[in-house]
Structure 1
Amino acid sequence: MPVGPTPPPPGVELLDVHRLRLVETPAPEPPPWERLAMDRVWDEAVRANPSLFDGPVAACAGLTREGPHGVVLTWARTTYRRHALRRVPGATARLPALFADVVQPTGDGRLLVGRMARWTSAPGRWLLPGGSVEPPGAGQVLDLAALRGHAARELAEETGVESAPEALRLWLVTRGAHGGVGVLFLAPPRPAALLRERFAALVAAETSRGREPELDRIALVGSRAEVADLAGPHTGLADYLEPVVGRYAAGAPLRPPPPGGG
C-alpha cells in the first residue's frame, strides 16, 4: 500500500505556496509592564551572550491564505529585543520571527543543514541556511524578490555556496509551533563534494581573519531519521527541519509550480 509523507509534528505547518504577497503593518506597542519585562529578559540574554545586538528586524504580524496556493504575509518593523517577549508569559505584543531559508539539495537527494555556532542566538541548533529578514531601507520594499536576495546572501555568508537570487524558487512557507514563519526557497542541486569544499573554504577564510563562522558544522541529510540523529545533549533542531526534509524526500519539490508562480 502506498504511504504518503509523514505529517509535520503538532504545531508545525507546511504550506505549499506559489504566490506570496507581503503587506507592512505597524508593530503593536507593548503596554508598560510588557516593555519592562521585555527589557529585563533582553538584558539578561545579552549578559549571557554579549554578541547579541538589538538591530532592526522584520517580524511576522499575520499569515493568511489567498487562493489555493497564495499567501498574504503581514509584517512589521521591530528590533531583536521584541523577541524577548517569547519568554514573558501573557505577553500580548509578541511578534513571531520571520526568516528566509534556502533548501540546498545535492544531486543524490540530500539537503544541506548547518549547526549554529556557540556565539549565536541559538547555539547548537541545526537548521537550514538562512536567517531573520531585515526590513527594507528608504525607498525600498519588502517583497518576494527582496526575500529571495536575502536568502541568497545568507546562503553565501553561512556556507560559502553562491547562488544567483533568480535561481532560487519559492517552495514552501512554514509556520512553527510558536508562530515563527519561514519562507523557503529551493536552490538548484549541487554536488556534495562542492558543498563541503565551499564550506571548508569559508571556515578557513573566517578563521584566518580571527572570526568564528556562524555555522560551526554542516551535514547532508536525506531523511527525517538522519535529521533526528543530529540531535544530542548539546544540540537541538529547528522545529521545521524534520518535516521539511521529509517533504523533500517524498518528492514534493519535483512538482513544477503553476504558470506565473514564484
Structure 2
Amino acid sequence: MNDDPRHHGPIRPVEFLDAHRITFVEHPPPELSPRERRELDRMWVDTRARHPHTFDGPLVASLGADLPAPGALEVRWARVTYRHRALRRLRPPEDVPGSVFVTVLMPTEAGLVVGRGSPATAAAGSWTLPGGSVEPPAAGQPLDAGALRREAVRELTEEIGVRIPDEEVRLFAVTRGRRFGSLGFHFLAPPVARALVLRRHAGLVAAETGRGAGPELDEVAFVASPADADRLGAGADYLRQVLHRYVSA
C-alpha cells in the first residue's frame, strides 16, 4: 500500500494537520443523559473488576479542532475522566469526544523506539510510540504547546525510563483520527543509543514489577520503516502513517 499522504488510495486512519501555532480553548464537558451516566458507571465497574489497577483519572478530551489560518490550529477541549471513553460504545462516532494524546519519536541506530502495551493497559498487545493521554493542567495553568511537550517527556520517562530535557524535543507532526477526531501531538527527541533504551526499560520493568504494578509497555522494539511495524503485529492507528512521514522527511 502506498503511504504517501498525497496518494488517493484507501482512506487512512488519521490525517495530518499542518499546524505549528496551536491554541487550546476550554469548554464545559459534554452533557450526559441519565441513561448515559448509568451506563458509564456500570461499564466502569466492569472495567475495574477486570483491571483493578485502572484509575478513573482526569483527561483532556477534544471537542473539535479548526484550522482558522495557514499553520494555525484551534482545539476546543474539555476536562473529563477516563470512564468517558466508554461513550464510544453508546454514541455514534461523530458525537463522541476525541482523545488528546502525545507521543515521542526517539531515534536510535536501530530505528525508532516502539513499545507493546502490557495486559493491564487500554491498548494491551498494541505497538505504539512511547506516549499517552494528556492530563488537564492544574487550576490557573494553561494548556498549550509547552504543556504538551512536558507531558510527552513525562510519558517517555514513565514508559521507557529515558529522561530528555523538555527543550530538546520538538513538535514533529499533528494527527487527527478520522473516526473519533482524536488529536495526536507527535514530538521528535534527539537520538540515543539502542543499548541505553534496552537497559533503562529493563530497569523500569524490574522496578514496576517489584512494586506489583507492572510496566505500561511490557516489551520494546526498534522500527526503521512501516514494514518493520507491520511485522511486529497490531499497532496504534497512527503508527504506520507517522513512521512513513518520519522516514520520508
1:160 aligns with 2:157: no
Aligned length: 244
Change (3 A) 1:28 1:208: closer
1:151 equivalent to 2:144? Answer: no
SS at match of 2:17: strand
Distance 1:195 1:66, change over 3 A: farther
Give the counterpart of 1:218 among 213, 217, 220: 220
Counterpart for residue 175 of structure 2: 174
- Equivalent positions of 1:76-225 (< 5 A) are 76-90=78-92, 94-107=96-109, 110-176=111-177, 177-225=179-227
Aligned to 2:248: 250
Where does structure 1 lack aligned partners over 5 or more consecutive residues?
Answer: 252-262
Amino acid in structure 1 at the alignment position of 2:159: E
Aligned to 1:259: none
1:209 Cα deviation from its structure 2 partner: 3.4
Q: Deviations over 1:142-173 (max 9, x none)?
A: 11111111110110110011101111101111
Q: Which deviates more from structure 2 when the two are superposed, residues 32-41 or residues 48-57?
A: 32-41
CA distance 1:208–1:130, shift in 2 (3 Å): same
Q: One-letter code of the match for 1:132?
A: S
Q: Offset at 1:77?
A: 0.4
The structural deviation recorded for 1:197 is 2.0
Which residue is 1:237 aligned to? 235
Partner secondary structure for residue 108 of structure 2: coil
Structure 2 length-normalised TM = 0.90
| Cα distance change of structure 1 residues 9 and 106 upon mapping to structure 2, 3 Å threshold | farther
Native 8 Å contact 1:28 1:93 kept in 2: no
**Percentage identity across aligned positions?**
47
Residue of structure 2 in register with 1:43 after alignment = 45
- 1:243 corresponds to which letter in structure 2? Q
Moved more, 219-228 or 177-186: 177-186
Offset of 1:43 from its aligned partner?
2.4
CA deviations on 1:182-235 (whole Å, 9 max, x unpaired) are 11111111122222222122223323434311110011001111111111xxxx
What amino acid is aligned across from residue 106 of structure 1 in structure 2?
A: T
Query: 8 Å contact 1:9–1:243 — kept in the other structure?
Result: no
CA pair 11-205 structure 1, distance change in 2 beyond 3 A = closer
1:34 aligns with 2:32: no
- Contact map agreement 1:103 1:187 (CA 8 A) in 2: yes
What's the counterpart of residue 64 of structure 1? 66
Taking only aligned residues, the RMSD between alpha carbons, in angstroms, comes to: 2.1
CA distance in structure 2 between the aligned counterparts of 1:38 and 1:91, rounded to whole angstroms: 16
CA distance in 2, matches of 1:87, 1:41: 10
Write the distance in 2 (CA, Å) between the matches of 1:116 and 1:51.
Answer: 15
- Tell me by how many angstroms 1:91 deviates: 7.8
Distance in 2 (CA, whole Å) between partners of 1:57 and 1:26 is 13
Contact 2:3 2:241 (C-alpha < 8 Å) held by counterparts: no
